[in-house]
Amino acid sequence: MSINIKEGELILIDKELNWTSFDVVNKIRYAIKKKFDIKKIKVGHAGTLDPLATGLLIICCGKMTKSINNFSAMNKTYTGKITIGSTTPSYDLETKPNVHYPIDHIDERLILKTAKKFVGKIFQTPPMFSAIKKDGVRLYNLARQGKEIKIDKREVSIDSFEITSFNLPEISFNVTCSKGTYIRSLAHDFGKELKSGAHLSELRRIKIGDYSVKDSVKVMDFIREI
């Protein structure tokens, strides 16, 4: 794999479980600096993936970092699983389920009907366990301190929200959405709309715009190949 340091490079990475997006950036930056014996190079990502999410991460190097905002603005497509009947403080499996709800009234018909309500422009509240800053402090740091603050709702756009399989209490889905959409919040709100509760139990990003995870490589494979 050849890297054009002078003109910049776009790298498609398939992020693995438990890596942060910054872990990926730092690992690639270090590998490029070592490989080409350079002291400094700009490296950044175009859209964060949570540690418990896997899939496509666009990494920009050198002059390509000037285009990060363009890539970040593209729609994203995800696959994943939602567990119905319990909620967690983080809206995913970073924290343990702390409240449980009945699911006896929930069937396939209700789930499909409810999913349709989330297609289009919707307002959602980002999770407390997120990287958004409040007065210069990341929300997840405040959440881990046990602090609760008011978070303003945001308008996002859900182009499609397809339920692909049912195995209650777990369902699988495919969603295409705008920049700024929190799939964890989508799962949480979905549970509320079902008159129950829910949390995100699995997430994988498969597309950013026309870029596909099928064309990506694992971090360590990239490092071995440059």
Give the model confidence (pLDDT) of 157-201 as tens digits. 999 999 999 999 999 999 999 999 999 999 999 999 999 999 999
Question: What is the count of structural domains for the chain?
Answer: 2
Q: Classify residue 4: in a domain, yes or no.
A: no
Dig out the tokens for 174 from the structure: 């495919």
Helix axes 108-116, 183-193, angle to 10 degrees: 120
Tell me whether residue 99 is in a domain.
Answer: yes
Helix (H, G, I), strand (E, B) or coil at 21: helix
Torsion of CA 214, 73, 185, 117, to 10 degrees: -90
Q: What is the pLDDT of residues 88-141, one digit of tens each?
A: 999 999 999 999 999 999 999 999 999 999 999 999 988 876 666 666 666 666
Name the one residue in this structure whose structure tokens are 């309500």: 117
List residues bridging with 162 in a β-sheet. 174
Q: What are phi and psi of 192, to 5 degrees?
A: -60, -45
Condensed to tens digits (0 to 9), the pLDDT of residues 13-47 reads: 999 999 999 999 999 999 999 999 999 999 999 99
Cis bond upstream, residue 102 (ω within 30):
no
Do 44 and 15 have their domain in common? Answer: yes
Q: What is the DSSP string of 141-165?
A: HHHHTT-------EEEEEEEEEEEE
Residue 199 and residue 122 in one domain: yes
What the block records as the tokens of 59 is: 């990494």
- 3-class SS of residue 213: helix
CA 128 to chain centre: 15
What region, left, alpha or beta, does residue 152 occupy, with left being phi > 0 and alpha being psi -120 to 50 degrees? beta
Are residue 93 and residue 113 in the same domain, yes or no?
Answer: yes
Cβ distance 41 to 178 under 8 Å? no
| Residue (of 191, 121, 119, 193) closest to 160 by Cα position | 119
Please report whether residue 173 resides in a domain.
yes
More confident residue, 3 or 192: 192
50, 189, 210, 215: the catalytic one is 50
Residue 39's CATH number: 3.30.2350.10
Tell me, yes or no, whether 86 lies in a domain. yes
Q: Looking at the structure, tell me whether residues 98 and 191 fall in a common domain.
A: yes
Calpha distance 101→96 (Å, rounded): 15
Do 69 and 31 sit in the same domain of this protein?
Answer: yes
Whether residue 23 lies in the annotated active site? no
Same domain, 26 and 117: no
Bridge partners (DSSP) listed for residue 171: 82, 166
Can you give the residue range of the structural domain that contains 143?
76-208
